Structure 1
Amino acid sequence: MPSDGRMPMYGSNPRLRSTERTHVSSSFSLSHPIPTPRSTNRYYASPGFGVPRRLLTFLKVAIPVTVILLITGYARYEPHFELSFYERAWVKNELEPIEPLKGCFDPAQVSRLYNLSENVYGKKRTEVHSGLAMRMGTDCYDFAGTIQPSGSHWDGLVEDGGRVNYHTYWRVDLAPLGEKQEWMLKSYFATQDIQRSKLILWSNGDLGGNQVLQTWLKRFPDAFELKIADIKELSRGTALENSPMLRLNDKKAWVDGDLIRLLLLWQYGGVWVDMDSLLTRDMSPLLEHEFITQWDCYDKAYQPLNGATMHFKQHSPYLCEAFHIMHTSTPPRPGSTDWGSILYFRLWRRLVAGGVPPFKILPFCFTDGRSCRLDNRLPDPFTADNGQTMSFHTKEGGSLDQALQKVFSVHLHNQWEKPYPKGGWVERLLLRRYQKRLETL
């Protein structure tokens, strides 16, 4: 027997196993631990945790790999998610029912200022409906290029002294009008036929003292005008006349902005352009049509249309029917598009149900090429570019330059606080060219 005080692994006289528990003196140290029964599932003996060893090993690998992939993907790609929730009761009550038209298209009810046979049923020179969603490649931009310049043929309706009215609006109580807003004015003067059109800047307060605007009023007195929007006066003769809903507004200027554009087009006719737009091409080839624009290339279920750019003739029965819907429906929710995108959708459904050819819908890229897939939408106007994006070559003469010469506008979506990057595509392909064109006028 060993004499160093340790028990041998096996004694010289092995004992038979019994059901009695084996007692080992605490004064001895075993050279090998006594085997203990093990479960078929192995666990780490961490207090409060019962994570299987295999699962923990998997997580040790999966979590770091996932984090690396997310960081790499975010650095290379721009995530684009959109999730909308619509109250089922609201959809059922406000969107699904199709009420009959008021009768604004009845010849006896049509204004003498509106030519029903020509504007609704007449032959048109251009086609603005492609029949496809045009989500692939540059299909939409190429389709915009099929709209040829008017040349000697003038497609616009002469509403005021031989000029087509272009309307835009600025709320003086939300922000001052400065250099960023001035670019919209410059884009108009540089791209439109200012001998046959006029830009009217409407506001809810006096802008006459603004030095930026005074410069353009003096330079183009026949093509530029400032006016204060009197909603009560503008609503005369419509279904909304004297309605308490005329006083509605919100902090985003959505509800009152959607109302004002319809009232202005009803009273004066012409083109509406949101102030956060940059015009890129003469719009006169489009003006034989009355139109609203597509919101994006995905066709939202209940909001497929956008009013950032639209055109309607003076006293258009389309607008007459829109006012009827507004007057007979639930008041708009603050900060909503109830009098915008949702109204246009409801109007379109009523028109086709009533057997009336609906207004045209310009494809998304004509005025808002930012609203589509990552691989074919316009690059971010407020991010510096290195000459190449997933969708376009951004250098002069590249694919982006060619696309901008085909479409009619770029919509910036109220990002007033963001500056245009120095040397970015907006500055190089648009702003500098506006300046160069204005130097020749």
Structure 2
Amino acid sequence: MYDHTSSTPPRWIPPSRWLNMRLRRVFTFLKIALPLVFFICYAVWYLYEPHGHIDLVFYEREWIQREMLPLSPLGGCFDPERVSPLYNVSETVHGRKRFEVQAGVTMRMGMDCYDFAGTVKFAEGEWNEEQRYIPPEQRAQFHTYWRVDLASLGERQEYMLKSFFATQDLPRSRLILWSNGDLSFNPIVRKYLELFPDSFALQVVDIPELAKGTPMENHRFLNLEDEKAWLDGDLVRLLVIWTYGGAWIDMDMLLTRDLSPLLEHEFVTQWDCYDKIYQALNGALMHFHKHSPYLCEAFHLMAHSTPPRSPSTDWGAILYLRLWRRLLSESIPPFKILPFCFSDPLACRLDNSVPEPFEPDRRDAKWTGRRGAGLEEGGALDRALGKIFAVHLHNRWDRAFPKGGWVDRLLLKRHEEEIGRRVRIDGEL
């Protein structure tokens, strides 16, 4: 190895010495460059508020061109002669509503979304006045679904049932638990059937029967399913609400307050606060009336599209967006879209999402100091949970809630206490 940096005649340098010379130069550069980079980054962080969200999803361009961008005509479900007499278009679609559930902006800043959710409420004592007995079939219907062949219904699934019976107006509500098998012998299910016989019912899904009278009747896609219960779950969700009307609640949700103020609207929810271009909408919490033409159009779109990918949200988030765009293209007021925090407060920025539910509370949690008391009872998180309607846990069935964590303290224990109180009052009447 020759030294070419010297003005003297070339001389031989051992490779090990040459390598050491190069390494010393690199180390010298790093000693100067690293502190400089650190100083620049700190200065930028101190002077500016960085924003960013990395969520890489790859979509095939051919699929986008074929499925997402074209706007095929609607199926005519809103034509007056085709609308069911059970569905009042003037009142449901065009009628004046009491509450506004769409803000028109993303509400990513601070507590804006939670504060907006707090505006959707009845006046004190307005909704709970005494009323005559309402037969179960005439109450507000709520639906959920569990596939017994994938997993047994256990304690984690019971949390959703508890949250329903602790937060909803039971004299006016009924929850129907749908499944693809008999759940009547499950001890958890039997307990709630005995405690709330007029507010809880079981149904076994018969997809071909539910599809009768829809564009999906006898369709070759009716038997599609996957190991995650995405395709069949999304189909069951729409068929059940079409047949019976009401609200859908996924089993991986914990309700935090009464859903009644939302039920004057037909709606799906926002997937998160980032407005994913093709997956902006979510049906984990949704509400439509019986024989809604919105659902009729959804079935028309399903029946006349290519087969859904498996597993995928082609019959969920993708379908809702495709339908929403078609409604706009034909000047039909679309269904509402609830802001992310109404049911999915885990899905936004690091500084305004609720804390991770499956990790122990941290003393320096981001909610500490926000309008006082942090994660404690009556604190900022507690008040926010009282404004929104649910916490969507996105499956994660294998994770346990930490003992004494905020989910345990602010939700689960309160649900248990409220159910006990309601049962005692019921027994005294």
TM-score class, shorter: 0.7 to 0.9
| Pairing partner for 2:403 from 412, 418, 422 | 422
CA drift of 1:347 comes to 0.3
CA drift of 1:142 comes to 0.3
Residue 92 of structure 1 aligns with an amino acid whose one-letter code is: Q
CA drift of 1:131 comes to 1.4
Residue 385 of structure 2 aligns with an amino acid whose one-letter code is: L
Q: Which residue of 2 aligns with 1:45?
A: 18
Residue 54 of structure 1 aligns with an amino acid whose one-letter code is: R
Normalising by structure 1, we get a TM-score of: 0.84
Secondary structure of 2:72 counterpart: coil
- TM alignment of 1:39-438, pairs within 5 A: 45-46=18-19, 53-59=24-30, 81-149=54-122, 151-152=125-126, 161-392=137-368, 393-438=374-419
CA drift of 1:54 comes to 2.8
Q: Give, in whole Å, the separation in 2 of the partners of 1:327 and 1:391.
A: 46
Distance 1:63 1:322, change over 3 A: same
CA drift of 1:435 comes to 1.1
CA drift of 1:390 comes to 1.9
Q: Is the 8 A contact 2:136 2:199 kept in 1?
A: no
Secondary structure of 1:136 counterpart: coil
Residue 168 of structure 1 aligns with an amino acid whose one-letter code is: T
Q: Is the 8 A contact 1:377 1:391 kept in 2?
A: no
Q: Is the 8 A contact 1:271 1:312 kept in 2?
A: yes
Structure 2, unmatched stretches of 5+, are 1-6, 42-51, 129-133, 369-373, 423-429
Percent same amino acid among aligned pairs? 59
Residue 55 of structure 1 aligns with an amino acid whose one-letter code is: V
Q: Is the 8 A contact 1:104 1:317 kept in 2?
A: yes
Q: Is the 8 A contact 1:43 1:53 kept in 2?
A: no
CA drift of 1:159 comes to 10
CA drift of 1:208 comes to 1.3
Distance 1:64 1:420, change over 3 A: farther
Q: Which residue of 1 aligns with 2:420?
A: 439
CA drift of 1:264 comes to 0.3
Q: Give, in whole Å, the separation in 2 of the partners of 1:237 and 1:217.
A: 31
Normalising by structure 2, we get a TM-score of: 0.86
CA drift of 1:386 comes to 3.0
Q: Is the 8 A contact 2:139 2:174 kept in 1?
A: yes
Q: Give, in whole Å, the separation in 2 of the partners of 1:289 and 1:236.
A: 25
Secondary structure of 1:288 counterpart: coil
Q: Give, in whole Å, the separation in 2 of the partners of 1:390 and 1:293.
A: 25
Secondary structure of 1:402 counterpart: helix
Q: Is the 8 A contact 1:238 1:320 kept in 2?
A: yes
Q: Give, in whole Å, the separation in 1 of the partners of 2:64 and 2:79.
A: 30
CA drift of 1:61 comes to 7.9
Secondary structure of 2:413 counterpart: helix
Q: Give, in whole Å, the separation in 1 of the partners of 2:306 and 2:194.
A: 45
CA drift of 1:102 comes to 1.0
Greater CA radius of gyration, 1 or 2? 1
CA drift of 1:238 comes to 0.6
Q: Is the 8 A contact 2:367 2:375 kept in 1?
A: no
Q: Give a deviation string over 1:160-189, Cα, whole Å, max 9, x none.
A: 632111100001111111111101000000
Q: Is the 8 A contact 2:248 2:287 kept in 1?
A: yes
Distance 1:248 1:159, change over 3 A: farther
Q: Is the 8 A contact 2:242 2:295 kept in 1?
A: yes
CA drift of 1:38 comes to 7.6
Distance 1:44 1:290, change over 3 A: farther
Secondary structure of 1:232 counterpart: helix
Q: Give, in whole Å, the separation in 2 of the partners of 1:298 and 1:210.
A: 40
RMSD: 2.7
CA drift of 1:133 comes to 0.7
Secondary structure of 1:227 counterpart: strand
Q: Give, in whole Å, the separation in 2 of the partners of 1:276 and 1:221.
A: 23
Secondary structure of 2:114 counterpart: helix
Q: Give, in whole Å, the separation in 2 of the partners of 1:161 and 1:384.
A: 42
CA drift of 1:62 comes to 6.9
Q: Give a deviation string over 1:295-326, Cα, whole Å, max 9, x none.
A: 00000011100011000000000000000000
Q: Give a deviation string over 1:379-403, Cα, whole Å, max 9, x none.
A: 1000000344124521111100000
Secondary structure of 1:271 counterpart: strand
Residue 417 of structure 2 aligns with an amino acid whose one-letter code is: K
Distance 1:280 1:388, change over 3 A: farther
CA drift of 1:80 comes to 6.8
Q: Give, in whole Å, the separation in 2 of the partners of 1:160 and 1:324.
A: 31
Structure 1, unmatched stretches of 5+, are 1-33, 70-78
**Paired positions, count:** 392
CA drift of 1:152 comes to 3.8
Q: Is the 8 A contact 2:174 2:201 kept in 1?
A: yes
Residue 410 of structure 1 aligns with an amino acid whose one-letter code is: V
Q: Which residue of 2 aligns with 1:17?
A: none
CA drift of 1:148 comes to 1.5
